[in-house]
Structure formats: structure tokens, C-alpha cells
Amino acid sequence: PLPVWLDCDPGHDDAMAMILAGYNPNITLLGISTTHGNQDHHKITRNAALVLKASGLDHLRIVPGQTKPLIRPAMVCPGIHGETGMDGTFTLPAFDSSLILENEKAVLHLAKLLQTMADHTLTLIATGPLTNYSLLVTLYPELHCKIKQIIFMGGAIGSGNWTPSAEYNILVDPEAASIVMQSGISVTMVPLEVTHQAIVTDQVIQELEIRLEKSPFCTLVIELLLFFKKTYQEVFDFNQGPPLHDPCAVAAVCAAELFTCKNMGVHVVTTDGPCLGQTVCDIYSKTDYPKINVATDIDVDGFMSILFDSLVQANIN
């Protein structure tokens, strides 16, 4: 299995990404770091601990990361994820603070971890703003060789979701995204065009209820998904169901065969104005923008199948 680190901001879809990363047999999840993002850093970090406990992944530890973007003020989106960042469920376990390594910092922890590794080993996945990884690659250029790849959920080839130009994770810390894309490390972007295909339809909910046998964990998962469905309906007029953005980035690592990718130049707009946070994708190779892999399509049935398998495993544990 591929050694993997997950940096996230749970977040309803981040929670699903954590469970997929924790249980997919093709990867070994070594740990989790948290960033600011969907809610403030404190709430996000607490949510990450709750997810680990609820899903039987409490052998893992959470390392707190940066509490704000590199140079901009922090942003949150309660309209999508609620006041807690993971609203909608009454089935969460008791909070266990021992799962959080309060005295450590994500960037330093990751640097120490990378120092123990052979070249080209660790895969870094991000499902929130890229602040932590941007600092890691800036502070420790000598450790780039240890990183196999960086895969993140974020960006869009076309329209954004938070502004007409920008996707949320990139808009929150565009400078960080730009640094990661220019790092020279192999980077894969999993944009909205892909994640908007991974919809939690009513049929998906029904299948989940059967596979998870209406257990308390099943109730938790369904409650989270239904809250996400409600906000996506209110905010984006998505009537089929909410998109599972973040587990797509994990799936692009543990089941790469489910994705179509194209290598292209991508530029992140970091100047204020209507295009701030846009990921300008050079589909026709007209520029010398840094080249990254951009996922352009996903096998949705295959994706749901591995996600369900991981949820079934979490249900057993």
C-alpha cells in the first residue's frame, strides 16, 4: 500500500475523504493534519477527532496545522457546513482530545516524517486550502525528493463555485495554491468538473442504508449527507444531491484507474478582483504555466463502490 498523508478541513465531504483514506486497502494513511477552511481551525480540528473516533480510525493522530491563509484573513463557509463545520448530526461520539497532538505543528511534523523516508515515497493529499503544504515545500526544498506526489481537491477548469471564477479551497488561499503548483513536485488537481459528477443521489442514500444495515454509524453518515444535500440545494440549487468533492481526491490516489487526467499548464490568479483564485487551465498548451495533472473525468460507479466499501469497513469497526 502507498503511504499517504491527508490534510483536511472537515467538513462533511472531508469526513468521507478521511474514511476512504483510512480504510482503502491500496493506501496506508499515516496521519492527518488540519487547516483552516470550512470553519475555524479549532472547530475543524475537533471535527477531525470526532470523525476518527466515530469511524474506528482512532489509532491515527491529528496534527494541527496553520490557522489562517499565508497572507489573507481566514474565511469560513457556515452556509454549506454549518456553525460547527459539520452540522446536521446528533450521532457523534464523545470528543477525545488525546487524538490531537496539540503541541505539534503539521509542517514540522511532516518535515520530520519525510526525513525518515526513502526518496519518492510519501503521497500528500489535500482536501482543504493548501496553506500547510505550501509552507512545507517552501521551508524544506531538500525534502521535495521524498514526496511522491501532491493531490488536491480544488480548482476548476471552467466556472468556480464560490465566485464565478474561483473554487472555494483555492480562493481561501490562492498564494498557497500557486506555490504548490510551482513546486516542481508532481501535482494533481481534482477540480469541480470531476467532483460535481460524484453526486449523492437518493439511490446512493438508499444503497448506503442497506450496506450499513441502519447501524448508529449509518445514521451518522446519512445525517451528514442529508445536511450537505440541504445546503447544496439552498446555496447552489443542486437538486439531485450534493457532490462528494473531497473523497474524489483520495480516490485519485487509491484508484487512479477511475480517473482521466490531462497534463496541462495551470496558473492561479492571486491578484484581487473578480478572477482572484481562478485556476486558469491551459488546455491547448499556449503558455509556459507550470504543468500539473488535471483530472477531467471520473468513473462514478467505480468511485461509489470503493467509497461504500470503506464505509462498510468503518461500520464494522
Alpha helices in the chain (DSSP H): 12-23, 41-54, 78-81, 106-115, 131-139, 168-172, 174-181, 192-195, 202-211, 216-236, 245-254, 300-316
Nearest to 289 by CA among 195, 140, 187, 193: 187
CA distance linking residue 20 with residue 251, whole number of Å = 8
User: How many residues in the chain?
Assistant: 317
| Residue among 83 and 142 whose Cβ is closer to ligand BDR | 83
267 is catalytic: no
Nearest to 306 by CA among 99, 19, 79: 19
Question: In the range 13-32, which residues lie near ligand BDR by CB under 6 A?
Answer: 13-14
Q: Which of 39, 127, 178, 313 binds Ca ion (CB under 5 A)?
A: 127
CA distance linking residue 111 with residue 260, whole number of Å = 31
Indicate whether 161 belongs to the interface with ligand BDR (CB under 6 A).
yes
Indicate whether 259 belongs to the interface with ligand BDR (CB under 6 A).
no
Q: Which of 33, 41, 246, 310 binds ligand BDR (CB under 6 A)?
A: 246
Nearest to 254 by CA among 163, 155, 188, 181: 188
Q: Residue 161 binds which entry of ligand BDR, Ca ion, none, with Cβ cut-offs from 5 to 8 Å by kind?
A: ligand BDR
Residue 95 · residue 46 · CB < 8 Å: yes
Residue of minimal Cβ distance to ligand BDR: 168
| Residue among 14 and 193 whose Cβ is closer to Ca ion | 14
Indicate whether 173 belongs to the interface with Ca ion (CB under 5 A).
no
| C-alpha cell read off for 55 | 469511524
Q: Residue 80 binds which entry of Ca ion, ligand BDR, none, with Cβ cut-offs from 5 to 8 Å by kind?
A: ligand BDR
Indicate whether 39 belongs to the interface with Ca ion (CB under 5 A).
no
Cell 483510512: give the residue.
22
**Least distance between ligand BDR and beta carbon 8 (Å):** 8
Q: Residue 167 binds which entry of Ca ion, ligand BDR, none, with Cβ cut-offs from 5 to 8 Å by kind?
A: ligand BDR
| C-alpha cell read off for 191 | 477540480
Nearest to 190 by CA among 238, 160, 156, 164: 156
- The pattern of x and - marking residues 188 through 227 that bind Ca ion according to CB under 5 A reads ----------------------------------------
- Give 120's contacts (C-beta < 8 A, 6+ positions apart): 145, 146, 147, 148
Q: Which of 23, 152, 168, 259 binds ligand BDR (CB under 6 A)?
A: 168
Q: Residue 87 binds which entry of Ca ion, ligand BDR, none, with Cβ cut-offs from 5 to 8 Å by kind?
A: none
Q: Which range in 7-15, 180-188, 227-235, 307-315 contacts ligand BDR by CB under 6 A? A: 7-15
Q: Which of 4, 5, 7, 11 binds Ca ion (CB under 5 A)?
A: 11
**Where is 259: in which H helix or E strand?**
strand 259-268
Q: Which range in 9-17, 62-70, 224-232, 277-285 contacts ligand BDR by CB under 6 A? A: 9-17
Using CB under 5 A as the criterion, which residues of the chain lie in contact with Ca ion when the complex forms? 9, 11, 14, 127-128, 246
Residues that bind ligand BDR (CB under 6 A): 11, 13-14, 38, 77, 80, 127-128, 153, 161, 167-169, 245-246
